[in-house]
Structure 1
Amino acid sequence: MSIIKLKQKPSPRNPGSGTWHDFSLLQPVLFLVAGLTSCGQEPASERASPLAEGDTVSITVMATADVHGRVRAWDYYRDQEEPRYALSKVATLVDSVRAAHEHTLLLDAGDWLQGNPFAEYFAMHDPQNRHYPFLAATDHMDYDAIVLGNHEFNFGLEYLNRQIEMTDTPVIGANIYHRGTEEPAYPPYIFREIAGLRIAIVGLTTPGSAVWDRPRVEGILDFADGLEAAHRFVQEVRDEHRADVVIILAHTGLDGGTSYHRDDLGDENFGRAVGEEVPGVDLLVLGHTHRAIDDVVLEGADGREVGVIQPGRWASHLGVAEMDVVRQQDGTIRVVSISTANHSVAEVDEHPGIIALTREAHEDVVAFVTEPMAMTDDEWSARDSRKKDTPIIDLIQTVQKEQTGAQLSAAAAFNTSVSFGPGPITRGDISLLYPYYNTLYKMQITGEQIRSFLEHTSQYYTTETDEEGNPVVNRGWPGFNFDMLAGVTYVLDLRNHPGERVTKLMYNGEPVDGDDQFTIAINSYRAEGGGGFDMLHDAPVLMTIDRSVGDMILEYLQDKEVIRYEDVFKENWHLVY
């Protein structure tokens, strides 16, 4: 594929074919600057001539979503090339689209600050405190806007806002308010002027951050209902700012339900509701659920067709939506046709400009993640960790119990493809074992809550078995929501329906009664309500450790120097099916 030089963003002082509004560049500086200024109209001289009656303009909208640190085509966990994912490959496709289409936009639907060792290095370990390379790349690639996803808050507001201040790319989020107000803490939308058309891009995000990152946002930010915010800001850009076309750039799924249970929060995945219930929306650019969705058109509340594009995860695809916009006889401007398609990067070359831009960062991260932390003579694998107790999960459990002094521990097999040993165990190995930036809680729970916890998590499995006699997984239940417990002995009989599956539950050889009291080590996502574990809602929090569980595992291995199965493994649960 030919390489074409990336086009440069028009200067706000010399807008050329596109006008950028200063409003889109306002960022909260540790929330000391109160409020956003209103978005005024730009001088008429800066706007292109409006469409004549019957004229048609084609606009091509490109999109990425849930990049999660995949800037380069490299697997930092295994220290090898990864051809399926890379923003550097997306950049090559972007050049080709721009070469073929006169009027284009480039957007990202959130979750770009966290997600792999590359991203975590710059948040937690970079001694130079550099500009996060993803944002340096979005500047270089001339992104028109990126929206805030829930994982943008994982490392705290200070780091997030400092990175936003360092970037030229507009970062938006309409339903993130200053605490106790309805005043957006980040720009709610931006405008682009294309061929006389005013294009509004409204940013929305899942309100789940109020649950999953409560310690980092509580008392500072409120996360409003995405559907309600869409009604508010779409009407605002249509009525007050005369937007001709409205694009919703949202870190939310088209469908998918809600994984938390908070009466004061809106739905986690509200994309379809916005498309079908909010008048004035032309295109949904979505993320969060890591799905690749194209060739979908919804019927909008006002009868218009609403296109949908969701470009997968990890920069696996460039999503492309093509819209034809026409001025009709009555003078109104309307999107008269829309098509969407996702384009894989698997067979695409990395863009030399992005390679050059990120070369030093890439080399620094490779050197960091390949550093050995400990040695082992055993082979550690998570392949069967959701079917039986395994040493690799007990490694997590042991660390959590030692860090908190709790009687019990809960952990999940986040990635069943992880394995290491015999030989050195590297930082990359542990990043693959524990890829999320979760901190650690110590809570007090009852025997009744333990039983309810196990019944809830057992929904990962159906009551059926496959042809080989293995239990059949419930595809609607994420693997990261199948938690295993250490410290109690238990049996789950999958032949029974959830609610009747715990057939044995013992502690120190004695049956667990409902009013027995225990302490449990559990990650922050789960403790704050992630995964719908409502039984923990009122459990007293005895301790919080505001460090990554992954870092705690690394420290444990460094102290041990050599790790063996017998150091951590104690089989305490099994399944019946």
Structure 2
Amino acid sequence: MNTKQPITAQLRLLGTTDLHVSLTGYDYYRNEETVDIGLSRTATLIHQARKEVKNHMLFDNGDILQGNPLGDYAASSLFWQQDSYIEATDKVHPIHQLMNTLSYDAATVGNHEFNYGLDYLQQCIEGAQFPYTNANIYHASKDSATAQESDKLPDTLLPSYLILERQIVDDHGDIHNIHIGVIGVVPPQIMQWDKAHLEGEITVQDMVRATQYWIPQMRTAGADLIVMLAHTGYVDSDDTTVLSENAVLPLSEIEGIDAIFFGHAHKLFPGNEFAGKQGVDLEQGTINGVPAVEAGVWGSHLGIIDLQLHYKNDVWSVEQGVSQLRAIYDREQGVSTVEPDLELEQIAAIPHQIILDHIHTPVGESTIPLYSYFALVMDSAYVQIINNAQIWYAQQVLADTLYSHLPIVSAASAFKTGGRYGPQYYAYIEAGKMTLQHTSDIYNYANTLCAVRLTGAEIREWLEWSAGLYQHIDPQVTEEQSLLHPDFPSFNFDIIDGMTYQINVCQPPRYSAAGQLLNKDAHRIEQLRYEGKDVEDHAEYIVVTNQYRAYSTPFANPDGNRVILDVPVENREVLIQYIRAQKVIHPEADHNWSLTLGSSSDKELVLSKPIITVPSSPDAQKILSAHPQLTYSGMNGEGFAIYRIEL
């Protein structure tokens, strides 16, 4: 290589994240074709982006194995007994079939890769024709207890980093060798979220500390450039705790990283949501000067990082880097931007038909329709059926145990409620026959059932945290006020059935979405009662929930020792068993909770009647006759319908 002349080159890095088994544009919950999801459409963007440049690489940032009925069924032995699939694929997972065809260069694992256990994960990875890396997961050993303090890490579950040798064409057409280092990390919280699968098998280190350890070694091993695959989101700098779940900001401060693909939060970077955030340059698409990209969810976007490289004194360096997103669907115009890749559609056809046949299996009947349009602002049958099933199951399991004398209540969330997933992410199930597809539409996570033992005071604090979903409503303001807090994940809004209570939204929130105490004197939860009597602080209850909540939320497990039931049965399977046992269900909401503007004795608050709005699906207009407190107000620029709610 002639180092006397300046050598420059362009390198384009392409990335997907949080595909969640979205092979094609098909919504298995609504049982219909759609144009705003699917790797087969992202593939068209990949082909286009590759044609525009001489040098390119393709990466995936994790969460590919779970996320829809196909992912759940593929994790069962029944799927792998389908002769039509085995003959066509030689036991390669459907998502890897498509990714192999697209010739990915490397990938890392996301937190949902562990939902079905390590053996299944290893089986899936073996079918990938590209390497995987992760730097902060390692095999459990007698030394793991001191791993956080040790300068030498135990053996990693996957290669701690990769050095990929590639040839690059410079701006003059000459060919050179270049070594691309790739490193991946995942939130340490997988040890809580999938404790049943992982405890005693692996340990997980803080993402930042692991990266700091390995980056210098990658440079020593010959990495000219380093690409980080960070399956973690962005939060402001006040979240600086060790073992943080969202660590992109501190990761971007580590010297030696040249580009970052991040995800987990299903957001879009660069995007307006990040305007004004610390370290962010939206024009360049950088965080602390490092080009970075987060490409949404389900293949909705392709992330692109363009690096301008310079070679001098036997060293490649990045002179400039910019990032961008390309979408498969223009939400503002309501039109698709690409056609699907036909080769990938053909590959996906067999598993697609297998899952369609499976999800149409009947499990029972419902006498009323079930929908999630307004499950965040009023009690709904959509959540009621989950809580009914969880209490029903726990009563059987805990009978004749030392906990049988304690009252059983249940906590559940409305999962499909729009938000960052868009205006189509709601459930609507007609009255009549219920199938496996419908149960997945109600409970679309692979959580397993747990129960915790809590006091009345602790349950109250749990509900106070959940009530952080709502913005502080000022009864004296005459303009419209939006009720839902955009930064509070709706899946963290738990409804606890078996107790009755009201949520006073004219009180400020007591806790933030992250569980930080905001207003120590604020109390939104009012009239908390069990069987008509006030809940006493010292009284004890069993709360049925899921393993995600039981092991990752301090409000559900204050000292880490409150789990009294942890069974390897999915909450969705509990729901299926309940419906099958009942045959015909009548899951009408019992209205055990409601929103309020304050005490009925506070005339000023009651008479003010502020104008309160909530977003939901445009399709929700068809059920407004059943909810006279709701009125349609119009559309916003993101495709959501806006509704006024009278409290």
Fold conserved between structures, TM > 0.5: yes
1:450 is aligned to: 459
1:165-564 to structure 2, matched below 5 A, reads 165-179=126-140, 180=144, 181=147, 182=153, 183-192=155-164, 193-195=166-168, 196-238=177-219, 240-255=220-235, 265-276=242-253, 278-294=254-270, 295-298=283-286, 305-328=289-312, 330-346=313-329, 347-405=337-395, 407-416=408-417, 417-464=426-473, 472-497=483-508, 498=510, 499-530=522-553, 532-533=554-555, 536-564=558-586
Instruction: State how far apart, in whole Å, the 1-side matches of 2:490 and 2:575 are.
Output: 21
Q: Secondary structure at the match of 1:171?
A: coil
Q: CA deviation at 1:535?
A: 5.1
Q: Which residue identity lines up with residue 245 of structure 1 in the other structure? A: L
Instruction: State how far apart, in whole Å, the 1-side matches of 2:481 and 2:438 are.
Output: 28
Contact 1:256 1:269 (C-alpha < 8 Å) held by counterparts = no
Structure 2 unaligned runs (5+)?
83-90, 148-152, 169-176, 271-282, 330-336, 396-406, 418-425, 511-521, 598-647
Contact 1:401 1:409 (C-alpha < 8 Å) held by counterparts = yes
Q: CA deviation at 1:539?
A: 4.9
Q: Are positions 1:94 and 2:46 aligned together?
A: yes
Q: CA deviation at 1:508?
A: 1.5
Instruction: State how far apart, in whole Å, the 2-side matches of 1:272 and 1:133 are.
Output: 33
Provide, for residues 434-464 of structure 1, a one-character-per-residue CA deviation record: whole Å limited to 9, x for no partner: 1111111122111111111111111111221
Instruction: State how far apart, in whole Å, the 2-side matches of 1:152 and 1:336 are.
Output: 35
Instruction: State how far apart, in whole Å, the 1-side matches of 2:157 and 2:116 are.
Output: 18
Q: Secondary structure at the match of 2:483?
A: strand
Provide, for residues 501-558 of structure 1, a one-character-per-residue CA deviation record: whole Å limited to 9, x for no partner: 222111122211111111111111110024x536543453222221111122122222
Query: Taking structure 1 as reference, are residues 489 and 274 closer, same or farther at Cα in structure 2, changes over 3 Å only?
Result: same
Provide, for residues 102-141 of structure 1, a one-character-per-residue CA deviation record: whole Å limited to 9, x for no partner: 2110001111111111211101351428422111211111
Q: Secondary structure at the match of 2:223?
A: coil
Contact 1:379 1:420 (C-alpha < 8 Å) held by counterparts = yes
Instruction: State how far apart, in whole Å, the 2-side matches of 1:362 and 1:95 are.
Output: 23
Q: Are positions 1:131 and 2:92 aligned together?
A: yes
Q: CA deviation at 1:298?
A: 4.3
Q: Which residue identity lines up with residue 556 of structure 1 in the other structure? A: Y
2:112 is aligned to: 151
Instruction: State how far apart, in whole Å, the 2-side matches of 1:507 and 1:383 are.
Output: 28
Query: Taking structure 1 as reference, are residues 425 and 470 closer, same or farther at Cα in structure 2, changes over 3 Å only?
Result: farther
Contact 1:53 1:331 (C-alpha < 8 Å) held by counterparts = no
Query: Taking structure 1 as reference, are residues 461 and 65 closer, same or farther at Cα in structure 2, changes over 3 Å only?
Result: same
Q: Secondary structure at the match of 2:234?
A: coil
Q: CA deviation at 1:224?
A: 0.9
Query: Taking structure 1 as reference, are residues 249 and 127 closer, same or farther at Cα in structure 2, changes over 3 Å only?
Result: closer
Q: Alpha carbon RMSD of aligned pairs, Å?
A: 2.2
Q: Secondary structure at the match of 1:528?
A: helix
Contact 1:445 1:539 (C-alpha < 8 Å) held by counterparts = no
Q: Secondary structure at the match of 1:327?
A: strand
1:162 is aligned to: 123
Q: Which residue identity lines up with residue 245 of structure 2 in the other structure? A: E
**When the two structures are aligned, how many residues end up with a matched partner?**
516
Instruction: State how far apart, in whole Å, the 1-side matches of 2:386 and 2:366 are.
Output: 16
Query: Taking structure 1 as reference, are residues 535 and 166 closer, same or farther at Cα in structure 2, changes over 3 Å only?
Result: closer
Q: CA deviation at 1:479?
A: 0.6
Instruction: State how far apart, in whole Å, the 2-side matches of 1:55 and 1:448 are.
Output: 67
1:47-58 to structure 2, matched below 5 A, reads 53-58=5-10
Q: CA deviation at 1:426?
A: 2.4
Q: Which residue identity lines up with residue 529 of structure 1 in the other structure? A: S
Q: Secondary structure at the match of 1:289?
A: coil
Identity among equivalent pairs (%): 27
Instruction: State how far apart, in whole Å, the 1-side matches of 2:268 and 2:2 are.
Output: 35
Contact 1:460 1:474 (C-alpha < 8 Å) held by counterparts = yes
Q: CA deviation at 1:233?
A: 1.4
1:1-12 to structure 2, matched below 5 A, reads none
Provide, for residues 167-196 of structure 1, a one-character-per-residue CA deviation record: whole Å limited to 9, x for no partner: 222121111112215221111221222331
Q: CA deviation at 1:225?
A: 1.1
Q: Which residue identity lines up with residue 67 of structure 2 in the other structure? A: G
Contact 2:551 2:560 (C-alpha < 8 Å) held by counterparts = no
Q: CA deviation at 1:372?
A: 2.9
1:26 is aligned to: none
Instruction: State how far apart, in whole Å, the 2-side matches of 1:476 and 1:257 are.
Output: 16
Q: Secondary structure at the match of 1:565?
A: coil
Instruction: State how far apart, in whole Å, the 1-side matches of 2:350 and 2:478 are.
Output: 51
Q: Secondary structure at the match of 2:454?
A: strand
Q: Which residue identity lines up with residue 480 of structure 1 in the other structure? A: F
Q: CA deviation at 1:331?
A: 4.3
Instruction: State how far apart, in whole Å, the 2-side matches of 1:571 and 1:556 are.
Output: 21
Q: Secondary structure at the match of 2:354?
A: helix
Q: Are positions 1:576 and 2:559 aligned together?
A: no
Scaled by the length of structure 1, the TM-score of the pair is 0.85
Q: CA deviation at 1:254?
A: 3.2
Contact 1:77 1:369 (C-alpha < 8 Å) held by counterparts = no
Q: Which residue identity lines up with residue 472 of structure 1 in the other structure? A: L
Q: Secondary structure at the match of 1:168?
A: coil
Contact 1:296 1:309 (C-alpha < 8 Å) held by counterparts = no
Q: Secondary structure at the match of 2:363?
A: strand
Contact 1:322 1:338 (C-alpha < 8 Å) held by counterparts = yes
2:619 is aligned to: none
Instruction: State how far apart, in whole Å, the 2-side matches of 1:50 and 1:527 are.
Output: 61
Provide, for residues 21-48 of structure 1, a one-character-per-residue CA deviation record: whole Å limited to 9, x for no partner: xxxxxxxxxxxxxxxxxxxxxxxxxxxx
Q: CA deviation at 1:371?
A: 2.8
Q: Which residue identity lines up with residue 496 of structure 1 in the other structure? A: Q
